[in-house]
Amino acid sequence: MRTHAHFDCVSGIAGDMTLAALVSAGWPAAELLALPARLGLAGVTIEVSDTRRGPFAAKHVRVRAAEQQPHRHLHHVEAILDRAELPGAVRDRAKQVFRRLAEAEAEVHGSSAQKVHFHEVGAVDAIVDIAGALLGLEALGVTSVSASTLPLGGGSVDSQHGRIPVPAPATALLLRGVPVRGGPVEAELVTPTGAALLTTLARSWGDMPAFRLTAVGTGAGTREFPDHPNVLRILLGELDTAGAQGTKGERRVAVLETAVDDDNPQFVAAVVTELMAQGALDAMVAPVTMKKGRSGMWVVVVCETADAGRLADLVLSRTTTLGVRVREERRIELPRRMLEVSTEFGTIQLKLAILPGGNVRAVPEFESVAQAAARSGASLHSVSAAAMRAFEELPSTH
Pick from 1-5, 12-16, 244-248, 274-278: least confident: 244-248
d(CA 214, CA 343): 33
| Radius of gyration from C-alpha coordinates of the chain | 22
SS3 (DSSP) at 84: coil
DSSP string computed for 150-218: EE-B-SEEEETTEEEESSPHHHHHHTTTS-EE-BSSSSB-B-HHHHHHHHHH-SEESSPPS-EEEEEEE
DSSP designation for 228: B
Domain boundaries, the chain: 2-239, 251-333, 336-392
Report helix, strand and coil shares of the chain as percent, to nearest 5.
Answer: 35, 35, 30
- Strand-pairing partners, residue 69, are none
Q: Residue 233: which of 20, 397, 66 has the closest Cα?
A: 20
What pLDDT does residue 285 have?
96
**Quick one: how far is CA 387 from the chain centroid?**
26
- For the question of whether the overall pTM of this predicted structure is more than 0.75, the answer is no
Condensed to tens digits (0 to 9), the pLDDT of residues 27-64 reads 999 999 999 999 999 889 999 999 999 999 999 999 99
Residues in the chain: 398
Taking only the tens place, the pLDDT of each residue in 269-328 is: 999 999 988 888 999 999 999 988 999 999 999 998 878 888 999 999 999 999 999 999
Per-residue confidence at 203, pLDDT binned at 50, 70, 90? confident
CATH 3.30.70.1380, domain 251-333, yes or no:
yes
- What number is the average pLDDT over the span 249-274? 91
CA triplet 160, 163, 167: central angle to 5 degrees? 95
Per-residue model confidence (pLDDT) at position 32: 97
Strand extents, DSSP E, the chain: 2-8, 44-53, 56-65, 142-147, 150-151, 156-159, 162-165, 180-181, 204-205, 212-220, 231-239, 249-260, 282-289, 295-303, 325-333, 336-343, 346-354, 360-364
Query: pLDDT at position 397, please?
Result: 47
pLDDT digits (tens, 9 = 90+) for 7-31: 999 999 999 999 999 999 999 999 9
Q: Is the pLDDT of residue 92 over 50?
A: yes
Q: How many CB atoms lie within 10 A of CB 308?
A: 19
- Where residue 396 falls among pLDDT bands split at 50, 70, 90? low
